Amino acid sequence: MLHIPKRGTSGSSIPIVVPVGADHDPRPAIASSLRASSEASPCTQTMHILVFNGTREPAVDPGLLIKELSETSAAFAVASIAEDVGYIRAVQEGLGIAAHLGTRQDLVGFLDADAVLHGTAHWAFLERALATEPTLDAISGMVIHDQCEMWETPSSQKFIRALESTRGVVNKPYIQGGAGGSLARRPAFERAVSTALDLGTLIGPSLSASALAAGRTIRATSHLPCGHTPRRTLEEWLTSVTAYEKSWRRLLGLYGTDVERPWREFLHDAEEVVSSDPGLSRDLADCQVLRQLVVDRVEQEHLSSTIKAEASLATSI
């Protein structure tokens, strides 16, 4: 531990775990989160737990970050893992720190180091939703890009505004992980982290799939827009989506294909809404074609690896 909070500041605080890789300066993310906490009435009590990880030099020196945050009234903790353990193990470490510090045991927040929360009183809104909806396991804001390429159409401002013009607030039937500043029931979140480590999946999809499989709900809401690093090239997008789809295919194998139905229904409804805008409709269709190509490739790779494993097992008998 590089920094622990003052005594007496943890018990009523919602822990917000922020994994920090070498490429990201978390200060804009933390500043937006602290602003969101202060906007609520009364202020939302949060404890930000930053976990630096990696062997490379971080984008910001942890000592400088500690100095700057110490000049505010923020409750925070900072830890460092001098290994490339990945964001999931960093989050797991953050959960352990939260338990050690005695933060709230019912809820946990998750924030990417390169996310920026734009919505008013972000954490208070999410906390209220969880308090009033017993079947809701997790809720996040929604990543919305002012400008982005065709392949990120479902996250574009133009797409979301088109849906909002006919639906009002848009709710996507999954959470957007740390990118959307998620708040979850802590037991559900901890199970998702364990699943992600066991299966080699991502936390957001793991939490979404497990909740849907259990007949519970999750959502990302456009009421709380968020900024996040966009995929500026098709190669970046393909790398990111391939990782997501590999994760999702493993989860479908565990939970069944029914957990994919809410997203397919959302897309079907969205296609109908944007059909009156030829340009937007074309971009959405082209994006879906690209995504399906990734899905097909991932499924083919999975099938090939399964066949090889079965053949190897047969020859060993």
Distance between CA 168 and CA 311 in Å, rounded? 53
- pLDDT score of 6: 72
At residue 315, the pLDDT reads 54
Percent of the chain whose pLDDT exceeds 90: 79
Q: Taking the model in full, what pTM does it have?
A: 0.91
- Per-residue confidence band for 58, with pLDDT thresholds at 50, 70 and 90: confident
Q: When comparing pLDDT for 28 and 232, which is higher?
A: 28
Q: What pLDDT, in 10s, does the model give residues 84-130? A: 889 999 999 999 999 999 999 999 999 999 999 999 999 999 999 99
| Mean pLDDT for the stretch of residues 263-284 | 95
